[in-house]
């Protein structure tokens, strides 16, 4: 590995570590209602309250984040990373490409062996067959 590649790798690892430290500090220092998570966007790091996130949707190596304000952010991390970050904030992984804040779920719609979550804003989010029981158990 060349020296330039090693330096770039170390810089990237350092930035990720700093982001995780900022995230941890924000959680430790705030009451649970005010927790915020650091989201790496293309040109900025946005600090969001998880309660303001309606859902996250995978798009290759990026994630679309939909907020209660109607804003859509594109994060430079995959959905798997957000699944890990948001698991303690009552988010449900209902499909390989969808992560939903359970407080915005209106109903579970089933028709012809296909399931969708209907969100409060009317958005339909698919539920995979493998995740259907997990989604149902979240509400029992």
pLDDT at 91: 93
Q: Spell out the CATH class of 39-138.
A: mainly beta
Sketch the domain layout of the chain as residue ranges: 39-138
User: How many Å apart are CA 24 and CA 135, to the nearest integer?
Assistant: 28
pLDDT digits (tens, 9 = 90+) for 109-121: 888 888 899 999 8
Give the predicted TM-score (pTM) of the model.
Answer: 0.74
Helix, strand, coil share of the chain (percent; to 5): 40, 35, 25
pLDDT at 31: 52
pLDDT at 8: 80
How is 4-57 classified by DSSP, letter by letter?
A: HHHHHHHHHHHHHHHHHHHHHHHHHHS-GGG--EEEEBSS-EEEE-GGGEEEEE
pLDDT at 16: 76
| Positions of the chain with pLDDT lower than 50, given as ranges | none
């Amino acid at each position: 590995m060349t020296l330039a590649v090693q330096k770039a790798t170390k810089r990237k690892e350092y930035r990720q570590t700093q982001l995780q430290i900022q995230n941890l500090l924000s959680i430790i220092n705030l009451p649970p209602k005010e927790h915020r998570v650091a989201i790496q966007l293309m040109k900025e790091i946005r600090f969001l309250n998880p309660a303001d996130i309606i859902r996250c949707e995978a798009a290759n190596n990026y994630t679309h984040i939909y907020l209660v304000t109607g804003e859509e952010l594109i994060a430079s991390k995959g959905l798997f990373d957000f699944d890990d970050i948001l698991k303690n904030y009552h988010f449900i992984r209902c499909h390989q490409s969808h992560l939903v804040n359970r407080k915005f779920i209106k109903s579970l719609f089933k028709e012809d062996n296909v399931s969708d979550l209907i969100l409060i804003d009317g958005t339909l989010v698919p539920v995979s067959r493998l995740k259907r029981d997990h989604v149902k158990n979240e509400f029992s």
